[in-house]
Amino acid sequence: MSLSEKRTQIYLPLETFQQVKRIALLKNVSIASIIRGALDEYLETEKEETKYNIDSIEGLVGIFEGEEDLSLNHDRYLYE
């Protein structure tokens, strides 16, 4: 384990553990490497799915400061 890694412990349902163990044996790799790979793929998917939601909201923060009629004319400010 290198300094860039953090040791952790998780609990898996027995059936999930058995499936991961079987795959690890077939591929001749560790259970940990299977879990790390699956988690990396999941996190990449989540990053793509949440990227636009976070960026869009952050892009709006503060852009309408000083507009007194914002509550009445919000569509004009957002879409024109």
Please write the tens of the pLDDT for every residue from 6-25. Answer: 999 999 999 999 999 999 99
CA distances from 29 to 9, 10, 20, 24, 45 (A): 19, 19, 11, 5, 24
- Cα Rg of the chain (Å, integer): 23
| Domain chopping of the chain, boundaries | 13-58
State pLDDT tens for residues 64-74: 666 677 777 77
Structure tokens that stand for 42 in this block: 């999941």
